[in-house]
Amino acid sequence: MPKTKTKFDRIAFVASEMPEAIAACERLGALYGDSDPAEADAIVALGGDGHMLQTLHRFMNDGVPIYGMNRGSVGFLMNDYSEENLRERLADADVSRIHPLSMIAYDKAGKAHKALAINEVSLFRERHQAAKLRILVDDTARMEELVCDGVMVATPAGSTAYNLSAHGPILPINAPLLALTPISPFRPRRWRGALLPNKVRIAIEVLEADKRPVSAVADHFETRGVTRVEVEKARNVELFMMFDPDHSLDERVLAEQFRY
């Protein structure tokens, strides 16, 4: 979706359950009108980063740009809150194109569970024993056995979220890369993950699945007792996130790399 100087006459507001977000939604709706999201020129999400992810998932296939304003506890994906000149801010906003990840998780019965992830696809051990995983990239085994608490595949948009907490790399938002990051690796202990082209297909096989059960999570969609998980870029799905020019997502990702 190219940047255009549309008037944004039709704005839809969606709020999290936080009282501050609900109150802001009511005030903004009274000031600018509150359109049906299906007919809106833009959707304004009021809350924190969690609500922004929920909004992106909710309107995943609608092609409507989403502009977040922070009325929550964490606001990395959100713009500063202001009730003034909203239509002008929307018209001047930079638009970031985001492709989510496609996950197919196979359970012990062989059933395939499909989901999309904007931030990351993660695998976690379910019990006290560490998980044992085999990692394949485009059908070639790159690591025969990773003993760990888990592993994740993160997008550039998600690289500053859980991936960063697990000591994974921060990726520029337009980088054609994915971060493959282990969670508390035990063997090989010093392996810190890999940067992969976003055109590859990653498969993670669970070894000793009965003894060492593993869950797979695509953002907030969880499948338990998986035996194999396949992850790749969802090329046919494109999301549009809007940011104020002086605080674009590119700038936030860059600035995050110099925080200490």
Instruction: Please list the rounded mean pLDDT of every run of 10 residues in the chain (260 residues).
Output: 68 96 97 95 95 93 94 83 96 92 97 97 97 98 98 93 93 91 94 96 98 96 97 94 84 76
| Residues that constitute the known binding site | 49-50, 119-120, 149, 157, 160-165
Residue 160: its pLDDT value, please? 86
Give the model's pLDDT for residue 82: 95
pTM of the model: 0.86
- Annotated active-site positions, please? 49
Q: What is the pLDDT of residue 2?
A: 44
Give the model's pLDDT for residue 4: 47
Instruction: Provide CATH 2.60.200.30 ranges for the chain.
Output: 101-233
- Does domain 11-98+238-256 fall into CATH 3.40.50.10330? yes
Q: Which CATH superfamily is domain 101-233 in?
A: Probable inorganic polyphosphate/atp-NAD kinase; domain 2 (2.60.200.30)
Q: Which residues are annotated as a binding site for NAD(+)?
A: 49-50, 119-120, 149, 157, 160-165
**Residue ranges, CATH 3.40.50.10330, the chain:** 11-98+238-256
Phi and psi angles of residue 258, each rounded to the nearest 5 degrees, phi first: -110, 10
